[in-house]
Amino acid sequence: MHPAVLPTPDGREQPVLRIRTRSTTKLLWLATATVYGLGCLRQIYVLAFGAETPLGNMRFLDLNDEFTLPAWYTSALLLAAAFLLAVHAAAARNRGSPSRSWWSLSAIFAYLSLDEATLIHERGMDLLPNTFTGFLALRWVIIAAPILVVVGLAYIPFLRRLPPRYAWRFILAGVVYVGGALGMEIVGGYLYSTRGMGKATYLAITIEEGMEMAGACLFISALMSLLVREAPVLTLRNE
């Protein structure tokens, strides 16, 4: 990332911020691997030695708790995706292309970022009776699954308008993220309700959080790559 200048029609030089997408993507994956790796080491440590050790249970690295490093990092990834989607929306509007889907996706990811940090979805469990067990032990999935299907179907035309290469990258990122956030969440809820917080439950949680981070990284990478293609030069205007 480094500043440059861009000539304007009136002959003045306008500052431009250039971002090296490949280097940024590598740095993103490195940061993700670091945060996730620390979370995994914490899980292994607690399973091996318990929480009553000189280091305690290192809750700030817990992959399955709020107000921790992994929770903050995942929330930041989703917020970064929301920002890039908003940039895509602005670029589409400047080209005269439809931008509503980009804006709505940006709003969705901004909400997901907020939810990751505050666990709003778990408050939704209070809307349903506490009588579900097994795969429906985490009751919020009963509400989330139909919403996910509706949103997914609504965005099929949007995906069709994208270049095929990027459409498939978006789909892959979505499958990985949802597979963790919803799929492995269901598995983890089932294991917790039937076996308690044992090794299998810890493993499911670890996989879930890793898939969420990986899905967000894949999506951010695809968004940056598409932005280079669709809007190679972006400027800010005081309007």
Question: Do the domain assignments include residue 223?
Answer: yes
Residue 181: its pLDDT value, please? Answer: 86
CA distance 65 to 207: 15
Per the structure, the complete domain to which residue 212 belongs is given by: 25-230
Q: Residue 10: inside a domain, yes or no?
A: no
More confident site: 122 or 113 = 113
Q: Is the residue at 16 inside a domain?
A: no
At residue 3 the predicted structure's pLDDT band, cuts being 50, 70 and 90, is very low
Residue 73: inside a domain: yes
Q: Does any domain span residue 238?
A: no
Task: Classify residue 3: in a domain, yes or no.
Answer: no
Residue 144 exposed, middle or buried by CB count within 10 Å (0-12, 13-18, 19+): middle
Q: Of the ranges 28-37, 44-53, 76-85, which one carries the lowest mean pLDDT score?
A: 44-53
Per-residue pLDDT of 167-221, as tens digits, reads 999 999 999 999 998 888 888 777 877 776 777 888 888 899 999 999 999 999 9
- Give the type of residue at 139: R
Number of domains in the chain: 1
Residue 196 lies in a domain: yes
Q: What is the pLDDT of residues 69-114, one digit of tens each?
A: 999 999 999 999 999 999 999 888 888 888 899 999 999 999 999 9
Flag whether 114 is in a domain.
Answer: yes
